[in-house]
Amino acid sequence: MSCNGNNKISENCLSCVVRKSTIFGDLTNDEMASIEGYIDKKRHFQSGEYIIQENTAVNYSLCINSGYLILGSYLENGSRQIFQVAMPGDSIGFSHSNDAYHYFVQALTKTDVCVINNATVDKLIGEQKAIATKLIEILSHNTSVNQQYLLNLGRKSAKESLAYLIMDISTRIKQQASNGGDDDFFPLNQEDMADILGLTKVHVSRVISSFKKEALIQCSQKKLEVLNEDLLSDIAGFIAVDSK
């Protein structure tokens, strides 16, 4: 399935609550109004829907207006590896080519995305220096975050890596809460966390139970509150990365 969610949802880009986090964040209102016609309006996806299927050639990029997405790939044995959790304001894609995506993009929750044709992005980059600068900042930030994940998750124990994942996602959600979000919301279930960390769901469940017994976290379905950020950060070796 390509990007063919429900009917378009009209919304003025000037009033978008995540605008400052996107590639359009540094444009003035007048500049934004002048290019709004280049941007497809939002498309809506239900939880579990694939926005982009793995190895599908597409000619568009995505800005997340609301909701949470996962990026990942299926391995030869049928297992799934998730390598990114994307949140409101995050951008996905932005390639100069129409080559196939070598990963899938799937909605974790009800999600609205703005779809932007790659040819339009090229045109806007040429016309708006602020967009080019913001795009470079976003790509640099994403590279830094991915490097941190490799460094911090690859050589940690299951307890340390799960603590790191919880602190990272919780911190990013709190940064989003200033836009009206719920800072106790946690989009990942135990299977998702296992597929990010390369662990079994049973192992993840055991570690989460130990965290609860140690009064480090409390959680229920789609809710997770970190009760002792200092101790959980120490276990994880977690240092927050400034948001883009």
**pLDDT tens digits, one per residue of 221-231:** 889 999 999 99
pLDDT digits over 39-88, tens only? Answer: 776 899 999 999 999 988 877 888 898 999 999 999 999 899 998 999 98
What single string gives the DSSP state of each residue in 103-169? SEEEESSSEEEEEEEHHHHHHHHHH-HHHHHHHHHHHHHHHHHHHHHHHHHTTS-HHHHHHHHHHHH
pLDDT for res 9: 40
Which domains does the chain show, CATH number per domain? 13-146 (2.60.120.10), 157-236 (1.10.10.10)
Mean pLDDT value of segment 116-144: 73
* DSSP, res 86: E
pLDDT digits over 76-115, tens only? Answer: 998 999 989 999 888 887 665 566 778 899 999 999 998 8
Token pair 């999600």 is at which residue? 111
pLDDT for res 13: 72
Which segment of 48-57, 60-69, 129-138, 163-172 scores lowest on mean pLDDT? 129-138
Q: Which amino acid is at 203?
A: H
The Cα–Cα gap between 5 and 182 comes to: 25
pTM: 0.82
| Cα dist from 156 to 36, 161, 164, 165, 217, whole Å | 45, 5, 9, 11, 20
- Going 188 to 192 to 193 to 197, the CA torsion angle's sign is negative
- CA-based R_g, the chain, Å: 18
Q: Please report which confidence band the pLDDT of residue 28 belongs to, taking 50, 70 and 90 as the band edges.
A: confident
Helices (H), 155-239: 158-176, 190-197, 201-213, 229-236
What single string gives the DSSP state of each residue in 17-58? TTGGGSTTTT--HHHHHHHGGGSPPEEEE-TT-EEE-TTEE-
Cβ atoms within 10 Å, residue 110:
13
